Amino acid sequence: MTLPILSTVFPRAALFRSHRRLFTSQPARETPQLENIGFIRAYGKPVATIFLWSALTYMSLQAMWSKLYFDEVRLETEAKIDKLNEELSRIEVAATGGHHSRRLFATETDPAATMEPKPERRVRKEFAEKLKGGPGFGDFVTGMREPLTPEQAMQQAEAVQSKIPGNSRLPRWLKTDIPTGGNVTKIRKTLRELKLHTVCEEARCPNMSECWGGGKHGTATATIMIMGDTCTRGCRFCSVKTSKTPAALDAAEPENVATALAAWGLDYVVLTSVDRDDLPDFGSAHFASTVRNIRERAPQMMIECLTPDFLGRPELIEPVALSGLDVYAHNIETVEALQRSVRDHRANYKQSMFVLAHVKKTKPTLLTKSSIMLGVGETDEEVLQTMKDLRAVGVDIVTLGQYMRPTKRHMKVHEYVTPEKFKHWEQVGNELGFLYTASGPLVRSSYKAGEFFISEILRKRSAVAAAKALAAEGRDGSNLRDISASIATEERKKAALDSASL
């Protein structure tokens, strides 16, 4: 082995190894004579080695072969046993008339058969044994120890039915489509990709398919929920998850949300959040930062924010109010008398009114908005008073909607207010002087907010006037913000003239 390798690298050395005599001056030695040591001594060792190795090989081959053979035999025998058992059970079944296990039906069909005890089954495998010893069907189906008679079953069904009082059935005007369809799935996918939550999904809004589907202007509205999907408050009407210690804020959320929304290309976005009473600033800085980021990345987008009450602290309300949004919304939810009953104990009427008043004081050009839920036990006088109070603090937009019970664990609906009644409230709102009133059973704070806002503004002040005003100021006027800004300016000028002439 070494010689061939050596010869290639060191040819002289290789030659030296094999032909030493050529390199030495020693005389050639005589070839030694081999002494006769005998046959056995000569061949004993190699023969013994060969014998030993072949013996070992033979024995291992034997072992393998016999294992395979016995496996085969074992399986054959088992198959034979199975066949015999099958035959046996078939005979048994024939003997017991076709019912070889106890089956439970809601109503009795054949008392004799179901009352028979379960016949013994030949246990073939360990697993079958284990199953037999464990729970049976009856253990999983509670309350069905005895099958019911048809009369008993009907009674039970009726008992459940009668628990739903007549006035709790959902009126036909509140029936909505289940949110499905191309646009809804597309938006849902986009939201998950961009890691956004929406209050639409978290609070189970009935309008999801309509808003996400896009209205007649083709503008889809989605209300993005920031600061997580878990709230620290537990209001009786809201199905958003509640916890005393929700997950910490995501510091990258303001940027991510802004990038996502800018990429999405919406015209009008509504931002809302959960209450974060666990944070020192109640989430105010985070909220304001998100709005600022959106403003930076999408200057043309109209932003509406539905904010928490920040426990009525002015220094926490101001940053959000001044962050660059277009509409500041905070919901009064219900009338004064029902505040303690309907909302979380940390929320109250005066506090929410203060929030709206303070926003107006901080930035008078900011539009403020609030919402009232009807059908939780309020009276008409109370609703009127609430609307008057809202107008008194300068709220520009008010929405009224029907409270709908999100789950069984939430407050019952006291009354389903008719669409005609809602129309009445819309008139009242207009008479009281709100910039616009959205009132209907399915109306929510941000229900088609973009659409309503624009169509109402454009309806009140004709588009011609708006365009004229814009042309006069020399602006392009192709985007909604400019249109609404110019209309608002016109309004204010007009209001100033009116008050001056009074």
Partner 1 sequence: MLSKEVTVTFIEPDGNEVQATGEEGTNLMELAHENDVDLEGACEGACACSTCHVILDESVFDSLPEPTDEENDMLDLAFGLTDTSRLGCQVLLTPEMEGMRIKLPSATRNFYVDGAKPSHH
Contact residues toward partner 1 (CB under 8 A) are 134-135, 139, 142-143, 160, 163, 232-236, 238, 241-244, 337-338, 340-342, 344-345, 376-379, 408-412, 414
Contact 441, 400 (CB under 8 A): no
How far does CA 452 lie from the centroid of its chain? 28
Residue 17 or 414: the one with the smaller Cβ distance to partner 1 is 414
Contact 191, 198 (CB under 8 A): yes
Residue linked to tokens 């090989």: 57
Residue 191 or 235: the one with the smaller Cβ distance to partner 1 is 235
Please state the closest distance from residue 332 (CB atom) to partner 1, in A.
Answer: 17
226 bridge partner residues: 273
Please state the closest distance from residue 239 (CB atom) to partner 1, in A.
Answer: 9
Nearest to 439 by CA among 338, 431, 352, 394: 431
Q: How many CA atoms lie within 13 A of 464 on its CB side?
A: 0
374 bridge partner residues: 402
Residue 183 or 239: the one with the smaller Cβ distance to partner 1 is 239
Residue 176 or 239: the one with the smaller Cβ distance to partner 1 is 239
389 bridge partner residues: none
368 bridge partner residues: 328
Please state the closest distance from residue 349 (CB atom) to partner 1, in A.
Answer: 14
Residue 163 or 169: the one with the smaller Cβ distance to partner 1 is 163
DSSP percent split of the chain into helix, strand, coil, nearest 5: 55, 10, 40
Q: What are the two backbone dihedrals, phi and then psi, of residue 283, each rounded to the nearest 5 degrees?
A: 90, 5
Residue 232 or 484: the one with the smaller Cβ distance to partner 1 is 232
Residue 305 labelled as part of a binding site: no
Please state the closest distance from residue 411 (CB atom) to partner 1, in A.
Answer: 6
Question: Encoding tokens for residue 216?
Answer: 């007649």
Q: Which uninterrupted H or E stretch holds 68?
A: helix 39-96
Please state the closest distance from residue 257 (CB atom) to partner 1, in A.
Answer: 26
The 8-class DSSP code of residue 120 comes to P
Please state the closest distance from residue 262 (CB atom) to partner 1, in A.
Answer: 35
Residue 78 or 146: the one with the smaller Cβ distance to partner 1 is 146
Q: Which uninterrupted H or E stretch holds 302?
A: strand 302-306
Residue 246 or 254: the one with the smaller Cβ distance to partner 1 is 246
Residue 458 and residue 445: Cα distance in Å, rounded?
20
Residue 375 or 450: the one with the smaller Cβ distance to partner 1 is 375
Give how far Cα 13 sits from Cα of 1, 27, 39, 246, Å.
14, 21, 38, 82
Contact 429, 383 (CB under 8 A): no
Please state the closest distance from residue 229 (CB atom) to partner 1, in A.
Answer: 13
Please state the closest distance from residue 377 (CB atom) to partner 1, in A.
Answer: 5
Please state the closest distance from residue 191 (CB atom) to partner 1, in A.
Answer: 23
Please state the closest distance from residue 141 (CB atom) to partner 1, in A.
Answer: 13
Through-space distance between the first and last CA atoms of the chain, rounded to whole angstroms: 120
Q: How many CA atoms lie within 13 A of 178 on its CB side?
A: 1
Contact 444, 403 (CB under 8 A): no
Contact 218, 279 (CB under 8 A): no
Contact 456, 227 (CB under 8 A): no
In our burial notation (b when 16+ CB lie closer than 10 A, e otherwise), range 183-193 reads ebeebbeebee
The 8-class DSSP code of residue 375 comes to S
Residue 144 or 495: the one with the smaller Cβ distance to partner 1 is 144
Which residue ranges are tagged as binding site for [4Fe-4S] cluster? 200, 205, 211, 231, 235, 238, 446
